[in-house]
Structure 1
Protein backbone atom coordinates (compact mmCIF):
# COMPACT_ATOMS: atom_id res chain seq x y z
CA UNK A 1 0.00 0.00 0.00
CA UNK A 2 2.84 2.35 0.89
CA UNK A 3 4.51 1.61 -2.46
CA UNK A 4 1.29 2.30 -4.33
CA UNK A 5 1.01 5.65 -2.54
CA UNK A 6 4.62 6.55 -3.48
CA UNK A 7 4.02 5.58 -7.12
CA UNK A 8 0.87 7.72 -7.25
CA UNK A 9 2.69 10.74 -5.76
CA UNK A 10 5.62 10.24 -8.15
CA UNK A 11 3.31 10.12 -11.16
CA UNK A 12 1.50 13.24 -10.00
CA UNK A 13 4.75 15.17 -9.54
CA UNK A 14 6.08 13.98 -12.90
CA UNK A 15 2.91 15.04 -14.71
CA UNK A 16 3.05 18.51 -13.10
CA UNK A 17 6.68 18.90 -14.15
CA UNK A 18 5.83 17.76 -17.69
CA UNK A 19 3.06 20.38 -17.98
CA UNK A 20 5.42 23.11 -16.83
CA UNK A 21 7.97 22.13 -19.49
CA UNK A 22 5.24 22.21 -22.17
CA UNK A 23 4.11 25.67 -21.05
CA UNK A 24 7.70 26.93 -21.22
CA UNK A 25 8.04 25.42 -24.70
CA UNK A 26 4.81 27.09 -25.80
CA UNK A 27 6.06 30.45 -24.47
CA UNK A 28 9.28 30.11 -26.44
CA UNK A 29 7.31 29.19 -29.55
CA UNK A 30 4.94 32.14 -29.04
CA UNK A 31 7.86 34.55 -28.60
CA UNK A 32 9.41 33.25 -31.80
CA UNK A 33 6.15 33.61 -33.75
CA UNK A 34 5.52 37.16 -32.54
CA UNK A 35 9.09 38.28 -33.27
CA UNK A 36 8.83 36.67 -36.72
CA UNK A 37 5.61 38.60 -37.34
CA UNK A 38 7.30 41.86 -36.33
CA UNK A 39 10.21 41.09 -38.66
CA UNK A 40 7.75 40.41 -41.50
CA UNK A 41 6.18 43.80 -40.83
CA UNK A 42 9.57 45.47 -41.06
CA UNK A 43 10.35 43.73 -44.35
CA UNK A 44 6.97 44.68 -45.83
CA UNK A 45 7.38 48.30 -44.75
CA UNK A 46 10.89 48.51 -46.20
CA UNK A 47 9.53 47.10 -49.48
CA UNK A 48 6.93 49.90 -49.54
CA UNK A 49 4.10 47.41 -49.00
CA UNK A 50 1.73 48.90 -46.41
CA UNK A 51 -1.10 46.36 -47.00
CA UNK A 52 1.27 43.46 -46.20
CA UNK A 53 2.62 45.41 -43.21
CA UNK A 54 -0.98 45.62 -41.96
CA UNK A 55 -1.55 41.84 -42.25
CA UNK A 56 -0.25 41.45 -38.70
CA UNK A 57 -2.92 43.74 -37.26
CA UNK A 58 -6.32 42.44 -36.19
CA UNK A 59 -8.78 42.94 -39.04
CA UNK A 60 -11.51 44.35 -36.84
CA UNK A 61 -13.28 47.62 -36.18
CA UNK A 62 -12.17 47.13 -32.56
CA UNK A 63 -8.45 47.25 -33.35
CA UNK A 64 -7.00 50.35 -31.67
CA UNK A 65 -4.09 52.54 -32.78
CA UNK A 66 -2.99 55.35 -30.48
CA UNK A 67 -0.49 58.08 -31.33
CA UNK A 68 0.08 61.76 -30.55
CA UNK A 69 -2.98 62.61 -32.66
CA UNK A 70 -5.31 60.45 -30.58
CA UNK A 71 -6.93 57.03 -30.77
CA UNK A 72 -8.06 55.52 -34.05
CA UNK A 73 -10.26 52.44 -34.16
CA UNK A 74 -10.45 49.94 -36.97
CA UNK A 75 -8.10 48.05 -39.23
CA UNK A 76 -9.25 49.80 -42.41
CA UNK A 77 -9.01 53.24 -40.81
CA UNK A 78 -5.46 52.47 -39.70
CA UNK A 79 -4.50 51.22 -43.17
CA UNK A 80 -5.96 54.38 -44.75
CA UNK A 81 -4.06 56.58 -42.27
CA UNK A 82 -0.77 54.82 -43.03
CA UNK A 83 -1.33 55.22 -46.77
CA UNK A 84 -2.15 58.93 -46.35
CA UNK A 85 0.81 59.55 -44.04
CA UNK A 86 3.31 57.64 -46.16
CA UNK A 87 2.21 58.01 -49.81
CA UNK A 88 5.58 57.01 -51.31
CA UNK A 89 8.29 54.53 -50.45
CA UNK A 90 10.73 57.43 -50.13
CA UNK A 91 8.60 58.90 -47.34
CA UNK A 92 8.32 55.48 -45.71
CA UNK A 93 12.09 55.23 -45.41
CA UNK A 94 13.78 52.24 -43.82
CA UNK A 95 12.18 50.89 -40.66
CA UNK A 96 13.99 49.27 -37.76
CA UNK A 97 12.47 47.85 -34.59
CA UNK A 98 14.14 47.04 -31.28
CA UNK A 99 12.14 44.86 -28.92
CA UNK A 100 12.85 45.88 -25.32
CA UNK A 101 10.41 43.52 -23.62
CA UNK A 102 8.01 40.77 -24.65
CA UNK A 103 5.80 39.23 -21.98
CA UNK A 104 3.53 36.29 -22.70
CA UNK A 105 0.53 37.07 -20.51
CA UNK A 106 -1.54 33.97 -21.29
CA UNK A 107 -1.96 31.32 -23.97
CA UNK A 108 -3.59 33.93 -26.22
CA UNK A 109 -2.20 37.33 -25.14
CA UNK A 110 1.20 39.04 -25.13
CA UNK A 111 2.58 42.49 -24.37
CA UNK A 112 5.52 44.03 -26.22
CA UNK A 113 7.54 47.19 -25.57
CA UNK A 114 10.05 48.51 -28.05
CA UNK A 115 11.44 51.32 -30.11
CA UNK A 116 11.24 52.12 -33.79
CA UNK A 117 13.29 54.22 -36.18
CA UNK A 118 12.63 55.40 -39.71
CA UNK A 119 15.76 56.34 -41.62
CA UNK A 120 14.85 58.70 -44.46
CA UNK A 121 16.65 60.97 -46.92
CA UNK A 122 15.10 64.07 -45.39
CA UNK A 123 14.50 63.61 -41.68
CA UNK A 124 14.90 60.49 -39.57
CA UNK A 125 12.14 59.90 -37.04
CA UNK A 126 11.69 57.41 -34.26
CA UNK A 127 10.01 56.67 -31.00
CA UNK A 128 8.61 53.94 -28.83
CA UNK A 129 5.72 51.53 -29.00
CA UNK A 130 3.68 49.20 -26.87
CA UNK A 131 1.72 46.45 -28.57
CA UNK A 132 -0.88 44.04 -27.30
CA UNK A 133 -0.78 40.85 -29.34
CA UNK A 134 -3.64 38.39 -29.24
CA UNK A 135 -4.10 34.98 -30.78
CA UNK A 136 -7.18 35.31 -32.98
CA UNK A 137 -8.34 32.39 -35.13
CA UNK A 138 -4.97 30.70 -34.61
CA UNK A 139 -2.90 33.75 -35.65
CA UNK A 140 -0.96 36.19 -33.48
CA UNK A 141 -2.08 39.71 -34.38
CA UNK A 142 -1.74 43.21 -32.94
CA UNK A 143 -5.02 44.29 -31.34
CA UNK A 144 -3.74 47.51 -29.73
CA UNK A 145 -0.82 49.67 -30.88
CA UNK A 146 0.39 52.71 -28.96
CA UNK A 147 3.14 54.40 -30.94
CA UNK A 148 4.81 57.67 -30.00
Structure 2
Protein backbone atom coordinates (compact mmCIF):
# COMPACT_ATOMS: atom_id res chain seq x y z
CA UNK A 1 0.00 0.00 0.00
CA UNK A 2 1.31 3.44 -0.97
CA UNK A 3 0.00 6.54 0.70
CA UNK A 4 0.86 9.94 -0.67
CA UNK A 5 0.21 13.42 0.64
CA UNK A 6 0.77 16.72 -1.07
CA UNK A 7 0.00 20.30 -0.22
CA UNK A 8 -2.81 20.21 -2.78
CA UNK A 9 -4.65 17.78 -0.51
CA UNK A 10 -5.27 20.58 2.01
CA UNK A 11 -8.26 22.91 1.85
CA UNK A 12 -6.18 25.75 3.29
CA UNK A 13 -3.50 27.45 1.23
CA UNK A 14 0.13 27.38 2.34
CA UNK A 15 -0.11 31.17 2.57
CA UNK A 16 -2.49 30.95 5.54
CA UNK A 17 -5.87 32.47 6.20
CA UNK A 18 -6.82 36.07 5.48
CA UNK A 19 -6.46 37.04 9.14
CA UNK A 20 -3.09 35.31 9.47
CA UNK A 21 -1.73 37.12 6.41
CA UNK A 22 -3.10 40.54 7.35
CA UNK A 23 -2.54 40.55 11.12
CA UNK A 24 -1.70 44.13 12.21
CA UNK A 25 -1.98 45.57 8.67
CA UNK A 26 -3.72 48.91 8.15
CA UNK A 27 -5.77 49.88 5.10
CA UNK A 28 -7.33 53.22 4.17
CA UNK A 29 -10.32 54.49 2.24
CA UNK A 30 -10.32 58.14 1.13
CA UNK A 31 -13.49 59.87 -0.06
CA UNK A 32 -15.29 63.19 -0.25
CA UNK A 33 -17.94 63.60 2.42
CA UNK A 34 -21.17 64.42 0.54
CA UNK A 35 -22.51 66.55 3.42
CA UNK A 36 -19.45 68.72 4.05
CA UNK A 37 -17.53 68.23 0.77
CA UNK A 38 -14.38 67.65 2.82
CA UNK A 39 -11.90 64.88 2.07
CA UNK A 40 -12.16 62.15 4.71
CA UNK A 41 -10.12 59.02 5.34
CA UNK A 42 -11.27 55.85 7.09
CA UNK A 43 -8.99 53.09 8.35
CA UNK A 44 -9.30 49.40 9.10
CA UNK A 45 -6.75 47.32 11.03
CA UNK A 46 -6.88 43.54 11.05
CA UNK A 47 -6.13 41.25 13.95
CA UNK A 48 -5.77 37.47 13.81
CA UNK A 49 -8.56 37.04 16.36
CA UNK A 50 -11.88 35.35 15.56
CA UNK A 51 -13.73 37.27 18.29
CA UNK A 52 -12.54 40.71 17.10
CA UNK A 53 -11.08 40.38 13.58
CA UNK A 54 -10.65 44.12 12.95
CA UNK A 55 -11.03 47.67 14.25
CA UNK A 56 -12.28 50.62 12.21
CA UNK A 57 -11.72 54.38 12.42
CA UNK A 58 -13.90 56.86 10.50
CA UNK A 59 -12.35 60.28 9.84
CA UNK A 60 -14.17 63.47 10.84
CA UNK A 61 -13.56 67.16 10.23
CA UNK A 62 -11.83 68.71 7.26
CA UNK A 63 -8.35 67.70 8.39
CA UNK A 64 -9.32 64.27 9.78
CA UNK A 65 -8.21 65.53 13.20
CA UNK A 66 -10.73 63.29 14.97
CA UNK A 67 -11.92 59.77 14.26
CA UNK A 68 -14.95 57.74 15.20
CA UNK A 69 -13.59 54.48 16.56
CA UNK A 70 -15.59 51.33 15.79
CA UNK A 71 -14.58 48.19 17.62
CA UNK A 72 -16.87 45.22 17.24
CA UNK A 73 -17.13 43.75 20.71
CA UNK A 74 -18.97 40.83 22.34
CA UNK A 75 -20.55 43.34 24.76
CA UNK A 76 -22.80 44.58 21.94
CA UNK A 77 -22.80 41.90 19.25
CA UNK A 78 -21.83 38.38 18.36
CA UNK A 79 -19.12 37.88 15.76
CA UNK A 80 -19.29 34.97 13.33
CA UNK A 81 -16.59 34.37 10.74
CA UNK A 82 -18.25 32.79 7.72
CA UNK A 83 -15.09 32.59 5.57
CA UNK A 84 -11.41 33.15 6.42
CA UNK A 85 -9.63 31.86 3.33
CA UNK A 86 -6.45 33.15 1.72
CA UNK A 87 -7.89 36.21 -0.05
CA UNK A 88 -11.37 36.49 1.47
CA UNK A 89 -12.87 37.29 4.85
CA UNK A 90 -16.61 37.27 5.51
CA UNK A 91 -17.74 38.39 8.96
CA UNK A 92 -21.27 38.64 10.36
CA UNK A 93 -21.98 40.92 13.32
CA UNK A 94 -25.31 40.31 15.11
CA UNK A 95 -26.54 42.84 17.65
CA UNK A 96 -27.40 41.35 21.04
CA UNK A 97 -29.74 44.28 21.75
CA UNK A 98 -31.59 44.94 18.48
CA UNK A 99 -32.81 42.81 15.58
CA UNK A 100 -30.10 43.90 13.21
CA UNK A 101 -26.88 42.59 11.75
CA UNK A 102 -24.10 43.55 9.41
CA UNK A 103 -22.22 41.32 6.99
CA UNK A 104 -18.85 42.46 5.70
CA UNK A 105 -17.26 40.66 2.75
CA UNK A 106 -13.62 41.59 2.28
CA UNK A 107 -11.71 40.42 -0.78
CA UNK A 108 -8.06 41.16 -1.45
CA UNK A 109 -7.13 41.74 -5.07
CA UNK A 110 -3.46 42.61 -5.51
CA UNK A 111 -2.80 45.65 -3.31
CA UNK A 112 -6.42 46.67 -2.69
CA UNK A 113 -9.22 45.42 -0.47
CA UNK A 114 -12.73 45.42 -1.84
CA UNK A 115 -15.18 45.61 1.05
CA UNK A 116 -18.91 45.06 0.71
CA UNK A 117 -21.00 46.03 3.74
CA UNK A 118 -24.62 44.89 4.03
CA UNK A 119 -26.76 46.21 6.90
CA UNK A 120 -29.91 44.27 7.76
CA UNK A 121 -32.67 45.34 10.17
CA UNK A 122 -35.63 43.13 11.02
CA UNK A 123 -34.72 40.85 8.11
CA UNK A 124 -34.65 43.66 5.52
CA UNK A 125 -31.54 44.95 3.76
CA UNK A 126 -31.33 48.68 4.53
CA UNK A 127 -27.96 49.33 2.86
CA UNK A 128 -25.51 47.55 0.59
CA UNK A 129 -22.30 49.54 0.02
CA UNK A 130 -18.95 48.85 -1.64
CA UNK A 131 -15.60 50.40 -0.68
CA UNK A 132 -12.04 50.08 -2.00
CA UNK A 133 -9.22 50.33 0.55
CA UNK A 134 -5.49 50.59 -0.16
CA UNK A 135 -2.63 49.54 2.10
CA UNK A 136 -1.48 52.24 4.50
CA UNK A 137 1.43 52.98 6.81
CA UNK A 138 -0.67 55.32 9.00
CA UNK A 139 -0.29 54.61 12.74
CA UNK A 140 -3.92 54.13 13.83
CA UNK A 141 -2.75 53.18 17.32
CA UNK A 142 -1.49 56.76 17.68
CA UNK A 143 -4.94 58.31 17.18
CA UNK A 144 -5.75 60.36 20.28
CA UNK A 145 -8.90 62.25 19.32
CA UNK A 146 -12.17 60.36 19.25
CA UNK A 147 -15.33 61.86 17.76
CA UNK A 148 -18.49 61.99 19.90
* TM above 0.5: no
Report the TM-score when normalising by structure 2: 0.33
More helix by share: 1
Question: Which has the larger Rg?
Answer: 1
More strand by share: 2
